Amino acid sequence: MDKREQILEVATRLFSERGFEKTSVSAICEAAKVSNGLVFHHFKNKNELLREIFKKTTNIIVEINDSVQKEISPKERLIELIDGAFKQMVEDKLFFQLYLNVMLQPTTKAILNDLIKEKYAFLLDNAHKILSEYSEHATIVDSFMFVSDLDGIAINYIYSFDDYPLDLVKQKFIKRYTYDLGDINQKI
């Protein structure tokens, strides 16, 4: 049983649940049944551990976006992208918690600045690619909004209270982007 992996796993969970600052290295070690020193044998320091986790977990995003590359129509592809994002909100709540938590905390944001920037560019780029394929009127502003909208929904679903109507929101969201771009933009 790889103890390094074990540390990563436990740390990911605890960082997500409690936040980075509020998760002590000792807490991780205790939960991972590992000595205190081992963390620093495998990772330069707590910050580097966070970076490692961030890199690893954000690859999920890439995978979602990549999985959409099948031989389907642009519209279906767009819907599938949205579908993937919503599915992930439900299945990887922890991941989203970590992602948002880390982005909104000045300290942690500084630690991960380069990685966040990179990932953000990727998201934007991907959204732009799929939106453009769907509608020739899609602008970069639409991509910014697409990403913002998903973030906003994630935040409200995850951090707001239980009664968030995610399914209904999803339906409206799909309608918004399949209708908006396909028809509205061109009308206006």
Partner DNA sequence: CATGAATGAGCCTTCATTCAT
Partner DNA sequence: GATGAATGAAGGCTCATTCAT
Question: Which residue, 45 or 148, has its beta carbon nearer to a second copy?
Answer: 148
Question: Which residue, 33 or 87, has its beta carbon nearer to DNA?
Answer: 33
Q: Which two tokens stand for residue 89?
A: 């909100």
Report the alpha-carbon distance of residue 111 to residue 50 in Å, rounded: 8
Residues 73-132 that bind a second copy (CB under 8 A): 97, 100-101, 103-107, 109, 117, 120
Report the alpha-carbon distance of residue 67 to residue 104 in Å, rounded: 28
Report, in Å, the least distance between residue 111 CB and DNA.
10
Q: Angle at which helices 140-159 and 93-104 pack, to 10 degrees? A: 110
* Chain center to CA of 47: 19
41 binds DNA (CB under 7 A): yes
Site string for DNA, 47-66 (x = CB under 7 A): x-------------------
111 binds DNA (CB under 7 A): no
Q: Which two tokens stand for residue 103?
A: 């982005």
Report the alpha-carbon distance of residue 52 to residue 62 in Å, rounded: 16
Report the alpha-carbon distance of residue 125 to residue 51 in Å, rounded: 22
172 binds a second copy (CB under 8 A): yes
Question: Which residue, 42 or 137, has its beta carbon nearer to DNA?
Answer: 42
Report the alpha-carbon distance of residue 157 to residue 67 in Å, rounded: 24
Site string for DNA, 1-30 (x = CB under 7 A): -xxx-----------------xxxxxx---
Question: Which residue, 38 or 124, has its beta carbon nearer to DNA?
Answer: 38
140 binds a second copy (CB under 8 A): yes
11-35 CB burial, b ≥16 within 10 A, e <16: bbbbbbeeebeebebeebbebbebe
The site for a second copy (CB under 8 A) is made up of: 17-19, 21-22, 97, 100-101, 103-107, 109, 117, 120, 140-142, 144-145, 147-153, 155-157, 159-161, 164-165, 168-169, 172-173, 175-176, 179-180, 184, 188
